[in-house]
Structure 1
Amino acid sequence: MESGRDRLIEAARSMLAAQPGRVPSTRELYEAAGVAAPTLYHHFGDKDGLLQAVTEAAFAEYLERKRAVPRSDDLLADFAAGWDMHVGFGTENPALYALMYGPADHRSPAARTAEAELRRGLERLADAGLLRMEVDEAVDLTTAMAVGCVMRLIHDGGSATVPLADTMRAALMSELTGRAQEPGSPEHTAALLLARLGSAPALFTSAEEALLRQWLRTLADRVTTTHDAPDKEE
């Protein structure tokens, strides 16, 4: 049986999604959850505590999807796939994204974890000699451009597949590394599809999605093996 705490979180998510930009009242929240006011106060202290719990849950969901994006031997392709996943999550969950990256963000543990994972990805680029600025600056730049891109797409009612998202990704990667990942490369195409599979779960059965993931990983592995193999002497 669903607990009062879970019902409050689900009610808050539903109400925020139904009316983006409007924060429901405390009474609206506990009535929508079908609980009494003391239940909300017991679990969260007040409405702000409930919204913070919703934000924490959203970051946890975001991190789960981010960690499901497979890595390849191409750091630039991996970074591009991470961007695509981030933009996709934001445009699919506009109300949650506004909580996660809006002024009400209180740097929850999950938010700090998300930033730490971004930093590790950028440190991998730096270690490979691909980053042309300090990691701290790269973290700030990447966050600013990603959040700005998603907020603009949400404002315009767009999706992660519109040209603006690709243009901003290329601009960011050019600024970070001096070159943009070639969007038509097999590595990037496979990583992109893998990153976006989780955003449309209704399209495939579990077996179909598992098979598609296997094919895409096989393609990426073969491309990497082909690129890394030394040329044979005639």
Structure 2
Amino acid sequence: MNPEERRGGPDRQRELILSAAVNLLAEAGPSGLSTRAVAAAAGVQTPTLYRLFADKDGLLDAVADFGFESYLAEKRAFETSDDPIDDLRRGWDVHVQFGLANPAIYTLMYGNAQPGRRPAAAAENRAIMRAMLERANAQGLLRVPVETATVAIEASTTGSVLLLLALPEQARHAGLIRPLRDIVLDAVTERTASRDDRSPIADRAQALLGIITPAGGTDPVTDAGFSVFEAGLLREWLARLEEAAQRSAGGSDPAQGGGAE
């Protein structure tokens, strides 16, 4: 029995190749994801890789789908509330959190878009979001057609996450793009759920976060004499204050797991 036969059948070989590719992607980025390197890491011959994935594009799509599975599992299990727009807001946050926690996989999924090519995981994620929008539309809550809202939300989430991922790791804060979430949802819906109940503390924390966000290579907080650590801590506190105020305004009890997580 040759070494490759000992690696198991096609399904097992496929799993080994995808696991090896995800590890290489995390270690070396997309440039290190050559078919030869992946095959060697998986312990299979390069022709086996081509037999299972057809070509490098097929491999990359499969790696993106494989890496996105945990995110999709969370989205499939997403519990809808009585407010479809609040569900869209929570869905946005889940998407952003996954992207920031998995930069290599996210960039592979959304950072190399080609006309006519969409990984299955990206298509499923879009379908889940569209279903949320269909539900909002059925309740008369959309200002625009469902397809227009789908494109607007997808473009703003993926574009903003990719922008954050281009920043140094310590500067990638979800709070920087949270105002965009509310702007986009306000633009495509008749109202933003829980907006009337929103705490003024949350609004002020969000406004101050926007003012002290680094821009143009300068940080207004460190320019005022604070250390980099103190600046980061201030932004973290404001983000946490905003989130706590939002939970309180929504009537959820974090101890009971009723937040936006």
TM-score category, normalised to shorter length: 0.7 to 0.9
Distance 2:251 2:77 in 1: 16
CA offset at residue 38 of structure 1?
Answer: 2.6
Distance 1:109 1:176 in 2: 26
Q: Report SS of the residue matched to 1:38.
A: helix
% identical aligned pairs: 37
Distance 2:170 2:153 in 1: 20
RMSD, matched Cα:
2.8
Q: TM-score, normalised by structure 1?
A: 0.73
**Which runs of no fewer than 5 residues in structure 1 stay unpaired?**
194-211, 221-234
- Indicate the residue corresponding to 1:149 in structure 2: 160
Match of 1:55 among 48, 57, 64: 64
1:103-157 CA deviation, whole Å, 9 max, x = no partner?
Answer: 3562233332221221111111111121111111101100110001110111122
- Cα gap change, 1:69 to 1:29, in 2 (>3 Å): same
Whose Rg is larger?
Answer: 2
Match of 2:145 among 119, 134, 137: 134
Q: Report SS of the residue matched to 1:72.
A: coil
Q: Size of the alignment, in residue pairs?
A: 198
Distance 1:77 1:54 in 2: 31
Matched, 1:19 2:31: no
- Indicate the residue corresponding to 1:120 in structure 2: 131
Letter in 2 for 1:129: G
- Indicate the residue corresponding to 1:80 in structure 2: 89
- Indicate the residue corresponding to 1:162 in structure 2: 174
CA offset at residue 8 of structure 1?
Answer: 0.9
Contact 1:88 1:159 survives alignment (8 Å): no
Q: TM-score, normalised by structure 2?
A: 0.66
Q: Report SS of the residue matched to 1:91.
A: helix
Distance 2:140 2:87 in 1: 16
Distance 2:59 2:249 in 1: 41
Letter in 2 for 1:87: V
Farther off after superposition, 120-129 or 13-22: 13-22
Distance 1:5 1:65 in 2: 24
